[in-house]
Structure 1
Amino acid sequence: MRVLVTGVTGQLGHDCVIELQDRDMEVRGVSSKEFPLTDAGAMRRYMEAYRPTAVIHCAAYTAVDRAEDDKETCMAVNAEGTAALARLCRDFHAKMVYISTDYVFPGNGTEPYEVDAPKDPKNVYGQSKLAGEEAVQQILKRYFIVRISWVFGINGKNFVRTMLKLGQTHKALTVVDDQIGSPTYTRDLAVLLADMIQTEKYGVYHATNEGFCSWAEFAAEIFRQAGMDIKVTPVPSSAYPTRAVRPHNSRMSKKSLREAGFLLLPRWQDAIGRYLIELESLKEQEEMAAQG
């Protein structure tokens, strides 16, 4: 199997390449510079040269608030770019994994969304990702659509890193508690995606670490495991207004994963612990490199 991973400079793309390499699979990670989603011709030339048998499409326009004022670019990357890539996967007979988001749902209620629950994204980013999903489903038969949420990994900025940084200069923080969902550790997700592309179990899936929490609970657990004495005070979303509407309910059911026989990701608390170890290891490597 020859795998192409888009978005290699991001958190998930980075970890997917590492996971596939660890399995001795042929893999190539590409960035927007060498594989621009807004240039179908350039993408075709790359596909012709590499001829992957599977594509894990992690690349996306993810600036959720900026997208509200930059809808054209967001749609060009997430919707039109995904559609162009899906057509290339069809032409080159490659399986496709499309990484989507909980933002395709309306974000209300308290029950976990099933994969076929009604879609009604409340911001431009969610609309663009839903358009990408629809394009993949219309163009391809051999696809996996995997919805994720609250992502954190070693290769980029994320909520965990932000909390750890703020904890160095603050003894108390206020964090939103009326948005409920599940964190997703990209190292865990990469394992699932690597398993998935080696099957014919096509369809739509939800894949996050197990368990639900609020952002405030997420923050409190980060500080607890990091051994940092930081007081976390829960506040409503109205305390932190954002340009784009955020869903209050990001719970997603894993029924489709279980029914397909895939292993569920570990609990989110366990994922935090392993991520903190990974961060510490990276810090040590950087210090050693700086010393020569």
Structure 2
Amino acid sequence: MRLLVTGREGQVSRSLEEAAATVGGLELIRVGRPDFDLQNPKSVLETIGAAKPDIVVSAAAYTAVEQAEAEPEEAFAANATGAGLVAEAAANVGAAVIHLSTDFVFPGTVPGDYVETDPTGPLSVYGRSKLEGERLVAAANPRHVILRTAWVYSAFGKNFVKTMLGLARDRDTVRVVGDQWGNPTAAGDIADGILRIASRMSEQRAEYGVFHLAGKGPASWSGFARQIFSESARLGGPTATVDEITTAEFPTKAVRPQNSRLSCAKLFDAYGWQPGAWQDALRPVVARLSGGD
């Protein structure tokens, strides 16, 4: 099975590289800028056309949530038009596509966990661009799995876990929002889920459509931060006290959903796989960042 992943240096792409090393019969091709650029249609079509993969993992995206408010054209060019082109290019070579989306497609007004059929209503440019990307991916390639995920972290790139540990090296207290809720999700769990889905695709046993893939269990940002510091302290790493604040006390250009918890029951029913508790997935990531693995 030949798997092409867009977004060469992204958290999911790098996690897939590690996970794929243990899977026999899998050829992983990771592509990214400057050779592959979502805002350069020719590079998208030519790169995927030349590689002729069996499955394309569409992980590249414009992820600067705050900056997107000032750059809507760039966000939509990558997350909507670019995502649709990736799905189209995959269809052109007979490949299925696994596309990564986000919890930001929801308005955050439901009291419990969102399911895939709940009404969307993104509050930010980033969320709107990703929702339009979902639509274009589905229209371009009938063999699509769209995975909405949330609060992604890993030992790679920029993410909340690395930010918190970095702040704790310089200060005793950090201020973290406590009234936004979601699912911290390890990129390694996303990679494992993608490989399960890709395996089913290669066996012609896949179910297509929109699914949620996120860490098991809810958390607020402040609760997430406390767990990060707890794991770090256990290993003798940097730690800090969390000063819980409200969203109103931490104004941002992009409006975030207050509750974007995701139910992953549909994914389990279709593929027999689910991520573990987010606290368990966090532990090895903090250990790795602390040099304790």
TM range (shorter): over 0.9
Q: Give 3-state SS (helix, strand or coil) of 2:21's partner.
A: helix
Distance 1:74 1:144 in 2: 22
Question: What is the RMSD computed on CA atoms of the aligned residues?
Answer: 1.4
Aligned residue for 2:199, secondary structure, equals: coil
1:147 counterpart SS class = strand
Q: Match for residue 264 of structure 1?
A: 274
Q: Indicate whether 1:149 and 2:159 are aligned.
A: no
Seq. identity, %: 36
State the AA in 2 paired with 1:45. Answer: E
The one-letter amino acid of 1:119's match is T
Letter in 2 for 1:167: A
Could you say which residue in structure 1 is the equivalent of 2:13? 13
Per-residue deviation, residues 182-235 of structure 1 (Å, max 9, x unmatched): 101001110110111111122211111100010000001111111155221211
Relative to the length of structure 2, the TM-score reads 0.93
What is the distance in 2 between the residues matched to 1:67 and 1:280?
32
Q: CA deviation at 1:179?
A: 0.3
Q: Which residue of 2 aligns with 1:225?
A: 231
**How many angstroms apart in 2 are the aligned matches of 1:261 and 1:39?**
34
Distance 1:234 1:132 in 2: 34
Residue in structure 1 matched with residue 203 of structure 2 by the alignment: none
Which of 238, 247, 255 aligns to 1:245? It is 255
Q: Do the aligned partners of 2:147 and 2:211 also contact (CA within 8 Å) in 1? A: yes
Equivalenced residue count is 283
- Partner residue in 1 for 2:161: 160
Aligned letter for 2:214?
T
Q: Which runs of 4+ in 1 moved over 4 A?
A: none
Map 1:281-292 → 2, pairs under 5 A: 281=291
**Alignment pair present for 1:274 and 2:284:** yes
Number of the residue aligned with 1:116: 117
1:277 deviates by 2.1
Task: State the 1:47 CA deviation.
Answer: 2.0
TM-score by length of 1: 0.93
8 Å CA contact 1:174–1:233 kept in 2: the answer is yes
Which amino acid counterpart does residue 143 of structure 1 have in structure 2? Answer: H
Aligned to 1:209: 215
Cα displacement string for residues 2-31 of structure 1 (whole angstroms, at most 9, x for unaligned residues) = 110001211111111222232131011011
Unaligned runs of 5+ in 1: 285-292
The 5-angstrom pairing of residues 29-40 of structure 1 reads: 29-40=30-41
Unaligned runs of 5+ in 2: 201-205
